[in-house]
A and B are shown apart, each in its own frame.
Chain A
């Protein structure tokens, strides 16, 4: 398409406005993370630290609670993403290979979970968690995250299973292999890219999550990173620098994740099934 230079200039100008709006708050956070304390308490601060320092990062890392909570987050997110993939794979296989009532109910649940009324389960989830020993427990939190990342993982994996020809399985089955053997030895190896994608989505979802952690975790030593950062924010607003540094550190896993998948973000994988 031919476009006039004036129109191109206008488009760039508009785009620039958007990018400033999106980037400015992030740049501000990064700038604060690299400012020394005396610059942070100055009333008139600029965009670029006059004397950039790593002090905030070392202070943040020396805080024992921060490291401990990062380990908590990694444990919860890691175990929940592995469990999600283990549970979602058979279910995704079921949706892809069988048509019928059960599959339709599962698909319906996947779609409904996109619009789940969290306001209704706020109290009952808390009460049920207390009753079955999931309250104030990392195991419980990991299981809750697993349930909430299952629908999206099932959706991703189902698309991947759809892409594996049935003929491969049929051949194995006429040779006497059962469903399980077929899933384990034929489908699973071909599914590895899908498993990795689903696991990464689950990991990041759990790593970033805050609401369930707030409701379900009480002890400070069990706090995941998100919960700890909010407690810091509430406690003292003076130490902005270490807090900004901790925020940046907490963002690194999902930054890596987005860097890894950004090429696929506009592909069909996402367009049909974005979890908002």
Chain B
């Protein structure tokens, strides 16, 4: 890079002209300071500080009530985490949830984006409908899917009855099918964003490549594999990574669907940490759960990105 770097952060181009009469504060360009500080103060107080404090709290015995200052207790919380069956249950549910929502969401969004990318008449309306769930607040999404899975006059039971498949009033969220049921709701809510991102990537696939593939009499599948997929792969890796993190952070949908009291099979990590902190007042322990979960997610993502990037290397 030809960018001039210095502690005074000169503008990238024509720095001489900008430099005339520049004031510095402690060696930093005064302009940089006032541009930066307004955003920096709230970010520091409400984002950076909580993050650092949260990591620290995980190593303390902080509890609700009383004004006793939290005491550092080393790895005590982590010994408890490792021996806590609720933690392991939630850990498993969290990963099954995040991986299955991400995978199904990606697969369906890819197919939907490919369809919406065709020059079919009416595609403007189809696109509008496809992004509709995006416009619905998470709380309302939760309520909508409660209406779907309700035992009495729920949408799913009504459809199954009308199709003559079964006539029982199943309370879907309390059966062993609860996790798949909630996964479907989550996929429904998150599909639009992924679809739009993939659609944007599809539109950047050079038309010449498709024409070349057509001349070579390549079938649709072959053209997809050779032309489309390699072009959208970086986007696919990026959006699935972000989706995974988002799904791991999921809270509102399951909270609303279960009325704030999820059974074990639906207790996602966020809900476990929430319960530990605000129902039982175990702040330190909740923070420790958070630390362990984030480390586990980070480890998984590193493996995933390594695999994805090495495959990309082989393709090109």
Query: How far does the Cβ of B278 sit from chain A's closest Cβ, in whole Å?
Result: 7
Q: Are A265 and B147 in contact (CB under 8 A)?
A: no
The proximity string for A residues 65-104 relative to B, scoring 1 for CB distances below 8 Å and 0 otherwise, is: 0000000000000000000001110110110011111110
Q: Are B54 and A123 in contact (CB under 8 A)?
A: yes
On chain B, the residues within 8 Å of A268 by CB distance are 200
Query: How far does the Cβ of B148 sit from chain A's closest Cβ, in whole Å?
Result: 5
CA distance A208 to B256 in the complex (A): 14
Instruction: Say whether B222 faces chain A, with CB atoms less than 8 Å apart.
Output: no
Q: Are B290 and A180 in contact (CB under 8 A)?
A: no
Interface residues of B in 259-294 (CB under 8 A from A): 259-260, 269-270, 273-274, 277-278, 283, 286-287, 289-291, 293-294
Q: Are B49 and A128 in contact (CB under 8 A)?
A: yes
On chain A, the residues within 8 Å of B270 by CB distance are 118-119, 122
Q: Are B18 and A124 in contact (CB under 8 A)?
A: no
Q: Are A258 and B135 in contact (CB under 8 A)?
A: yes
Q: Are A94 and B36 in contact (CB under 8 A)?
A: yes
The proximity string for B residues 93-136 relative to A, scoring 1 for CB distances below 8 Å and 0 otherwise, is: 00000000000000010011001101110000011111111111
Q: Are A115 and B278 in contact (CB under 8 A)?
A: no
The proximity string for A residues 164-175 relative to B, scoring 1 for CB distances below 8 Å and 0 otherwise, is: 001000100110
If A124-B50, A266-B200 touch, does A247 touch B144 (CB 8 Å cutoff)? yes
On chain A, the residues within 8 Å of B17 by CB distance are 170, 173-174
Q: Are B47 and A147 in contact (CB under 8 A)?
A: yes
Q: Are B274 and A122 in contact (CB under 8 A)?
A: yes
On chain A, the residues within 8 Å of B11 by CB distance are 97-99
Q: Are B290 and A271 in contact (CB under 8 A)?
A: no
Interface residues on chain A, number (Cβ under 8 Å): 101
Pick from B126, B130, B249, B286: contact of A118, CB under 8 Å: B249
CA distance A250 to B142 in the complex (A): 13
If A101-B9, A234-B260, A270-B200 touch, does A251 touch B132 (CB 8 Å cutoff)? no
Q: Are B135 and A250 in contact (CB under 8 A)?
A: no
Q: Are B35 and A22 in contact (CB under 8 A)?
A: no
Instruction: Say whether B71 faces chain A, with CB atoms less than 8 Å apart.
Output: no
Q: Are B9 and A150 in contact (CB under 8 A)?
A: no
The proximity string for B residues 46-64 relative to A, scoring 1 for CB distances below 8 Å and 0 otherwise, is: 1101110111010000100
If A29-B147, A125-B46, A132-B45 touch, does A98 touch B140 (CB 8 Å cutoff)? no
The proximity string for A residues 224-246 relative to B, scoring 1 for CB distances below 8 Å and 0 otherwise, is: 00100110011000001001100
Instruction: Say whether B76 faces chain A, with CB atoms less than 8 Å apart.
Output: no
CA distance A18 to B127 in the complex (A): 11
Q: Are B245 and A115 in contact (CB under 8 A)?
A: yes
CA distance A77 to B62 in the complex (A): 33
Q: Are A25 and B9 in contact (CB under 8 A)?
A: no
Instruction: Say whether A201 faces chain B, with CB atoms less than 8 Å apart.
Output: no
Q: Are B136 and A120 in contact (CB under 8 A)?
A: no
Instruction: Say whether A127 faces chain B, with CB atoms less than 8 Å apart.
Output: yes
Q: Are B139 and A210 in contact (CB under 8 A)?
A: yes
Q: Are B286 and A123 in contact (CB under 8 A)?
A: yes
Q: Are A254 and B136 in contact (CB under 8 A)?
A: yes
If A12-B120, A99-B3, A229-B139 touch, does A122 touch B42 (CB 8 Å cutoff)? no
Instruction: Say whether A42 faces chain B, with CB atoms less than 8 Å apart.
Output: yes
Q: Are B290 and A22 in contact (CB under 8 A)?
A: no
Query: How far does the Cβ of B237 sit from chain A's closest Cβ, in whole Å?
Result: 14
Instruction: Say whether A144 faces chain B, with CB atoms less than 8 Å apart.
Output: yes
Instruction: Say whether B73 faces chain A, with CB atoms less than 8 Å apart.
Output: no
Instruction: Say whether B179 faces chain A, with CB atoms less than 8 Å apart.
Output: no
Pick from A14, A90, A230: contact of B34, CB under 8 Å: A90
Query: How far does the Cβ of A155 sit from chain B's closest Cβ, in whole Å?
Result: 13
On chain B, the residues within 8 Å of A150 by CB distance are 39, 42-43
Q: Are B147 and A240 in contact (CB under 8 A)?
A: yes
Q: Are A22 and B287 in contact (CB under 8 A)?
A: no
Closest to B285 in A: A123
Q: Are B38 and A86 in contact (CB under 8 A)?
A: yes
Interface residues of A in 190-217 (CB under 8 A from B): 207-208, 210-211, 214-215
Q: Are A26 and B144 in contact (CB under 8 A)?
A: yes
Closest to A258 in B: B135
Most chain A beta-carbon contacts within 10 A, residue among B118, B128, B220: B118
Instruction: Say whether B246 faces chain A, with CB atoms less than 8 Å apart.
Output: yes
CA distance A106 to B36 in the complex (A): 9
Query: How far does the Cβ of A91 sit from chain B's closest Cβ, in whole Å?
Result: 4
Instruction: Say whether B32 faces chain A, with CB atoms less than 8 Å apart.
Output: yes
Q: Are B39 and A11 in contact (CB under 8 A)?
A: no
What are 7 A-B interface contacts by the 8 Å CB criterion?
A: A44-B153, A106-B39, A124-B54, A126-B277, A128-B46, A170-B14, A271-B200
What is the interface of chain A, defined by CB distance below 8 A to chain B? 1, 3, 7-8, 11-12, 14-15, 18-19, 21-26, 28-29, 32, 40, 42-46, 86-88, 90-91, 93-94, 97-103, 106, 109, 113-128, 132, 143-144, 146-148, 150, 154, 166, 170, 173-174, 179-180, 207-208, 210-211, 214-215, 226, 229-230, 233-234, 240, 243-244, 247, 250-251, 254-255, 257-258, 262, 265-268, 270-271, 274, 276
The 7 A-B pairs with the shortest beta carbon distances in the complex, nearest first, are A271-B200, A208-B137, A100-B9, A124-B53, A119-B290, A258-B135, A120-B54
Q: A19-B126, A255-B135 are in contact. List 15 more A-B contacts (CB 8 A).
A: A3-B118, A15-B112, A15-B116, A25-B148, A99-B3, A102-B36, A121-B47, A123-B62, A125-B50, A127-B62, A226-B137, A230-B139, A233-B146, A254-B137, A276-B245
